[in-house]
Amino acid sequence: MAISTPKSAYLKGATGALPFLLVVVPFGMLFGVVGTEAGLNLAQVMGFSTLVIAGAAQFTAVQLMVDEAPTIVVIVSALAVNLRMAMYAAALAPYLGPAPFWQRAIIAYLNVDQTYAMSHQQFEAEPQMPLPARVAFFFGCATPILPMWVVATYVGAVAGAAIPPEFALDFAVPITFIALVAPGLRTLAHVSAAATSVILALALGWIPHNLWILAAGIGGMIVGAEVERRGTAQ
Amino acid sequence: MTAWSDPAIWGIMAALGLGTYTLRLSFLGLLGGRAIPEWALRHLRYTAVTILPALITPAVLWPEATGGQTDPARLAAAAVALIGGYVTRNAIVAIVGGMATLYLVQFAGF
């Protein structure tokens, strides 16, 4: 049945988002643990999860701070991880662009991987959905996801201080990043991009101040885009 | 993290928060109605699958926890996470599988 009222749209968004908690909660807890282990205090760990709200970028920043990279490299590298957010904004603009600015300003704050993915899928599937219902659907998606992200971070930060070193949590970040990337290796372009960045990371490791990360990332993006372009040109 | 003062940490956080928010608002608010060029979209699609692997490659091959010595347990854990995540398309399966492999191989004493 097509959604028409904002209330039913909100409820559909909120219930549809519940399964995503299986990813969001462990990931948030892990950030709390890793951030605390890295030496951030509770307020700082919570600050990251409420101000940045982007797990992969938060882990990137913490990792580079542990590696004692220069401040600007920490910021630019973590923001590079978040460049995809501009793509999310562009993808939602045709559907949410006519909403009042204050609503779009709040939507932008809550526009994370899960809320974007659910909303975009819903708006594409039901293009005739009225604007207030679309906005309500988005806020519905955000309702379980965002608060639980913050709560999970808190639980991880409090528990993290008690985890002994035998648990090798130094390796939780690499494993998490592999886990985030592997399901996304859907096409030849994605695989080429990832493989290029790994090879470049090894070849360019001599570049100082951890700038090899950006160099390898940009190289991988160029290769991925080129493979995609050739693939679609045929 | 001893090298970082309190203001430095909060400064990084503020910059990241503001920068990320600007990216999220960009085409939804500030650049209202403007379309993102096709070539830019094509590159943005690959940001996550490139920056994240680049960042962790040295940590997988030469972990700091083992003094930079290549560690069979960590290599096996990374391989299981990669294959598990690719096959199941599920990040949590990949994390649990990877960390379980790490503990198992370490426990077995290789």
Per-residue model confidence as pLDDT tens for chain A (234 residues): 566 799 999 999 999 999 889 888 988 999 999 999 889 999 999 999 999 999 889 999 998 999 899 999 999 999 988 988 888 898 899 899 999 999 999 999 999 989 998 898 899 889 899 999 999 999 999 999 999 999 999 999 999 878 777 777 778 889 988 988 998 898 999 999 999 999 999 999 899 888 999 999 999 999 999 999 998 765
To test the contact with chain A by mutation, choose from B39, B46, B70 the residue with the greatest count of A C-beta atoms within 10 A, namely: B46
Domain extent, residue A86, equals 6-167
Q: Is A41 within the bounds of a domain?
A: yes
Chain position carrying tokens 């990216």: B23
Q: Provide the domain count of chain A.
A: 2
Contact B17/A51 with Cβ under 8 angstroms?
Answer: yes
Q: What is the DSSP letter of B35?
A: P
Chain position carrying tokens 């996304």: A184
Clarify whether residues A78 and A160 are in a common domain: yes
Q: How far apart are CA A127 and CA A95, in angstroms?
A: 8
Clarify whether residues A41 and A148 are in a common domain: yes
In angstroms, what CA-CA distances link A22 with A6, A59, A112, A167, B93? 26, 19, 15, 22, 11
Clarify whether residues A201 and A109 are in a common domain: no
Clarify whether residues A46 and A140 are in a common domain: yes
Q: How far apart are CA A60 and CA A35, in angstroms?
A: 11
Contact A119/A138 with Cβ under 8 angstroms?
Answer: yes
- From chain B residues 22-81, the ones with a CB under 8 A of any chain A CB are 23-29, 32-33, 35-36, 39, 41-61, 63-65, 74, 77-78, 81
- From chain A residues 165-204, the ones with a CB under 8 A of any chain B CB are 167-168, 170-185, 189-190, 193-194, 196-198, 200-202
pLDDT band at B32 (very low <50, low <70, confident <90, very high): low
* Cβ <8 Å between A217 and B54: yes
**If we measure between CA atoms, which residue out of B96, B12, B11 comes closest to residue A64?**
B12
Residue A24 phi, psi dihedral angles, 5° rounding: -65, -40
Contact A149/A49 with Cβ under 8 angstroms?
Answer: yes
Report the 10 Å Cβ neighbour count for B109.
Answer: 6
Closest-approach residue (CA) in chain B for A63: B55
Q: Which residue has the higher pLDDT, A171 or B110?
A: A171
Q: Is A177 within the bounds of a domain?
A: no
Clarify whether residues A126 and A152 are in a common domain: yes
Domain chopping of chain B, boundaries? 1-45, 47-110
Q: Is A175 within the bounds of a domain?
A: no
**If we measure between CA atoms, which residue out of A213, A214, A33, A45 comes closest to residue B9?**
A45
Residue type, A161: A
Clarify whether residues A28 and A95 are in a common domain: yes
Rg value, chain A, Cα: 19
Clarify whether residues A120 and A221 are in a common domain: no
Clarify whether residues A56 and A156 are in a common domain: yes
Contacts of B63 in chain A (CB under 8 A): 170-171
Q: Is the pLDDT of residue B34 over 80?
A: no
Clarify whether residues A153 and A192 are in a common domain: no
Helix (H, G, I), strand (E, B) or coil at A163: coil
- From chain B residues 4-23, the ones with a CB under 8 A of any chain A CB are 4, 8-17, 19-21, 23
Clarify whether residues A44 and A150 are in a common domain: yes
Angstroms from A69 CA to nearest CA on chain B: 10
Q: Is A1 within the bounds of a domain?
A: no
Indicate the Cα dihedral angle A93, A94, A95, A96, nearest 10°: 40
In angstroms, what CA-CA distances link B89 with A172, A182, B50? 19, 7, 18
Q: Is A137 within the bounds of a domain?
A: yes
Q: Does A152 touch chain B (CB under 8 A)?
A: no
Clarify whether residues A46 and A135 are in a common domain: yes
To test the contact with chain A by mutation, choose from B25, B30, B47 the residue with the greatest count of A C-beta atoms within 10 A, namely: B47
Residue A192 phi, psi dihedral angles, 5° rounding: -60, -45
Clarify whether residues A219 and A147 are in a common domain: no
Contacts of B84 in chain A (CB under 8 A): 179, 182
> What's this model's pTM, rounded to 2 decimal places?
0.84
